[in-house]
Structure 1
Amino acid sequence: MTLQLQKMYFCIGQKLQKSRTTLLAALLMLSFSSSAMAGWELQWIDKFDGTSVNWDNWTAQTQANYNNEVQCYTNDDSSVNKNYDVSDGTLKIIARKQNINCPGLGGTQKSWTSGRLNSKDKNEFLYGRIESRIKFHNLEGGTWPAFWMLENRIAEQPVKGDGDSINWPNAGAGEIDVWEWFSNAPNTYITNFFNTESCAGETLYSYPNGGPDVQNWHNYALEWSKDNTSFYIDDILVVSQDMSSCNQYQEPMFVLLNVAMGGNLGGNINPSLTQATMEIDYVAHCQPSAANNATYCNQALAEQNNGLPEVSIKITQNGYTITDINPDNGLVTLSAQTGNINADSSYSYDWYTSGLASPIITGNQINFDPSSMVNGYYYVSVILTDDQNPTQTDRDAQTLKVISESISTSNTINANSTGGSISAGILLFLGLLGLFRARHSLPHQSAGK
């Protein structure tokens, strides 16, 4: 994973000294009783059903170079030797043995090419269930595929300049590994945490049939709230971690998918190996829902929405479409954009907001003046209902980021010291808290280190 070489020397007892500001907004708490919390509501999914990578969802992280690994990460999804192949409803990330002067690393010589996608600035998630269905095609030594997450203020490509200047694994740049597998230790896979708060740690899952199990399709998932993280393979609970005293992982994170080769952790590469493939059926994010009993956050939920009204929230400020809200730039409008609307039906919009400054709600719009709002994250959702058939609904939710221009360039931690401070404009964290359902406990579990 990110900066794994540093992991080998990272001291769990390291303390990051930081100034703290009073939280001026309450956490959004949507509590579900064990009887009400029945399933999941799909928020986002990439089903890889096209013919190329959807670059609206992903960035090819071509500047990553860690752990003395031998691969050059590319953005190639079209050449004969492409590293991303979207076909037959899946994404294949393909590592290939070939010498290259790596363009993303200033021409550094590498002996393999591979792929590393992240969803930073495009699809970021705060709490809920993050899930992917994955299989790996190879058992030869030297490969290291992974499905993992990073906090969105990390100073890694793409760097937007919106406070993403924090160095791993400080607050704002912590890591959660949902699934990573080493072919040189094939019988287990790893879930793990890297942060400066001593939050949780490594847990190994032992495949019942050993290494060959990695070549079968499995659903790997993280269920995440402010106070808990739980990891699953298929419907088996790997481990639950108490996060109630953890001060990290309370802000949006993004997903990464990659295949690393060799290096300090990948180990020796089998000399006969020339290609290694990680195949991904989908990546999805859900929030808890009492509306169904869905166990997974997957394509089946997406297919349930076929033919239903569709709604999405558009954000404009002073007439311009935006992603981040500047409190000095005037009136903000949130509009519920709809598609697949039946002209013979009538529809209603139910809005929920947290922390917005005196919002004025009129039908499919919300207007508010952000000038009095502090920098941080705010939550808004809308449910569109067909009044003639109330079971026909669709929902969209957005995490709004309010940040002034003066803050966006100054919120930095010095990575060369063991301490530091976060500016008084520390981000406020808002999230959904769901009481997650009970699952089967894991018979193959070892203690985290």
Structure 2
Amino acid sequence: MRRIYYCFTFLAISLISCKSEDKKDATNTLNESTVWEVDFLDEFDTFNLQNWQDQRIWVNNETHCYVPNGEFGTREVSDGTLKLKVVKLDTVYPCDNLDKFGKQHLDTKYVAGRIASKNKKEFVKGKWTARLKLSSSGEPSMFPAWWLLGSKNNEPPVQEEDENICWPITGSGEIDIFEHHGDHHKDRFTTGAIKSLGECDKGDWWTLRKDFPVTLTEYHEYSVEWENSDLVYRVDGEEIYRNPGQGDAYPEPMFAILNFAKITDNPMESNKWVMEVDWVKHEYRK
């Protein structure tokens, strides 16, 4: 059975936090004016199957194959952090990833890690935050992401009867908290919501999203919160962007996704790319 967590909004005051290269206590981020209740926190001491599952799917014309169980080192938990990687192999790998129409991915020499809290930890509104960094930035084809998707999304894995809504209709809406497009910029990331155009597979990627500068090889906290009817995006607790009125467009339970993708045919400059995640949490205002 899907476990859905409902969150209630009473205040509209921002959460303030600090950054550090050392592992930081994710629970100690409340200011004097706002009381946040943490209802989900994973500090990645282990890979907790109560919180996450591997998500093996072919989307966005990605040129890698998502593999299970951390094969080839694509998903590793060590020293209190999660490492998701794109790894270049010496030989071609037979990929079994399917897209939502059942088409199988071509064989490839690139493998990668993707995890989702689908049917594990799903929440309505509130605030999602992850503290993460990249091993490098600005390399062609690089596409790491930290994002949310509506729990009734009909893409693999389909595990519940109500997972039958196509992207990005309500119930399968998308909010991108952090994306880095290595083909375009070094030390910049994109944040914002995908605007539904009311039909399957028709979303506006540009109107509600914006790029911002940040040192991607240093730890930062990337978050989105529902503030009344707005979606508010923060880095290290500071507001950088908001989607006015868009919070009401995402009333559904949402699950979190962390993945590192390779999205074009450009060769990798190194043998692996790494996104290191210190912790992930969800909160609601008391």
TM-score by shorter chain over 0.5: yes
Identify the match of residue 283 of structure 2 among 282, 286, 306. Answer: 286
Cα separation, partners in 2 of 1:101 and 1:241, compared to 1, 3 Å: same
Show the counterpart of 1:128: 126
Cα displacement string for residues 271-321 of structure 1 (whole angstroms, at most 9, x for unaligned residues)? x321111100011001114xxxxxxxxxxxxxxxxxxxxxxxxxxxxxxxx
1:46 paired to 2:42: yes
SS class of match (1:215): coil
Q: Where in structure 2 are there 5+ consecutive unaligned residues?
A: 1-5, 14-30, 99-103
1:275 paired to 2:272: yes
- Report the Cα offset of residue 240 of structure 1: 1.9
Q: In structure 2, give the amino acid aligned to 1:223.
A: E
- Report the Cα offset of residue 123 of structure 1: 0.3
Q: 2:128 touches 2:223 (CA, 8 Å); kept in 1?
A: yes
1:68 paired to 2:61: yes
Decide which structure has greater strand share. 2
| In structure 2, C-alpha distance between the alignment counterparts of 1:206 and 1:178, rounded to whole Å | 14
- Report the Cα offset of residue 44 of structure 1: 0.5
Q: 2:229 touches 2:245 (CA, 8 Å); kept in 1?
A: yes
Identity of aligned residues (%): 29
Cα separation, partners in 2 of 1:28 and 1:131, compared to 1, 3 Å: closer
SS class of match (1:104): coil
Identify the match of residue 79 of structure 2 among 61, 82, 88. Answer: 88
| In structure 2, C-alpha distance between the alignment counterparts of 1:227 and 1:45, rounded to whole Å | 25
Show the counterpart of 1:446: none
Aligned counterparts, 1:43-442, within 5 A: 43-50=39-46, 53-62=47-56, 64-77=57-70, 79=71, 81-98=72-89, 99-105=92-98, 106=104, 108-139=106-137, 140-184=139-183, 185-194=185-194, 195-196=196-197, 201-207=208-214, 213-225=215-227, 227-243=229-245, 248-263=249-264, 268-270=266-268, 272-289=269-286
| Stretch moving more, 178-187 or 276-285 | 178-187
Cα separation, partners in 2 of 1:111 and 1:286, compared to 1, 3 Å: same
- Report the Cα offset of residue 55 of structure 1: 1.8
The alignment of Structure 1 onto Structure 2 pairs a total of residues equal to 248
| In structure 2, C-alpha distance between the alignment counterparts of 1:151 and 1:171, rounded to whole Å | 7
Show the counterpart of 2:3: none
Q: Where in structure 1 are there 5+ consecutive unaligned residues?
A: 1-26, 208-212, 290-449
Higher relative contact order (CA 8 A, sep 6+): 2
Cα separation, partners in 2 of 1:100 and 1:240, compared to 1, 3 Å: same
| In structure 1, C-alpha distance between the alignment counterparts of 2:7 and 2:77, rounded to whole Å | 38
Q: 2:7 touches 2:284 (CA, 8 Å); kept in 1?
A: no
Cα separation, partners in 2 of 1:219 and 1:230, compared to 1, 3 Å: same
Cα separation, partners in 2 of 1:82 and 1:29, compared to 1, 3 Å: closer
Cα displacement string for residues 211-248 of structure 1 (whole angstroms, at most 9, x for unaligned residues)? xx10000000111245111000112211122226x652
Q: 1:144 touches 1:182 (CA, 8 Å); kept in 2?
A: yes
Q: 2:9 touches 2:228 (CA, 8 Å); kept in 1?
A: no
Cα displacement string for residues 163-199 of structure 1 (whole angstroms, at most 9, x for unaligned residues)? 1111111121111000000122224210122223689
TM-score scaled by length of structure 1: 0.51
Show the counterpart of 1:394: none
- Report the Cα offset of residue 126 of structure 1: 0.9
Q: In structure 2, give the amino acid aligned to 1:48.
A: F
Q: 2:176 touches 2:192 (CA, 8 Å); kept in 1?
A: yes
SS class of match (2:130): strand
Show the counterpart of 1:444: none
| In structure 2, C-alpha distance between the alignment counterparts of 1:179 and 1:88, rounded to whole Å | 23
| Stretch moving more, 172-181 or 152-161 | 152-161
Q: 2:65 touches 2:105 (CA, 8 Å); kept in 1?
A: no
Identify the match of residue 32 of structure 1 among 11, 18, 38. Answer: 11
- Report the Cα offset of residue 104 of structure 1: 3.2
- Report the Cα offset of residue 36 of structure 1: 8.8
| In structure 1, C-alpha distance between the alignment counterparts of 2:7 and 2:76, rounded to whole Å | 40
TM-score scaled by length of structure 2: 0.79
Cα separation, partners in 2 of 1:279 and 1:28, compared to 1, 3 Å: closer
| In structure 2, C-alpha distance between the alignment counterparts of 1:83 and 1:233, rounded to whole Å | 26
Decide which structure has greater helix share. 1
Q: 2:74 touches 2:87 (CA, 8 Å); kept in 1?
A: yes
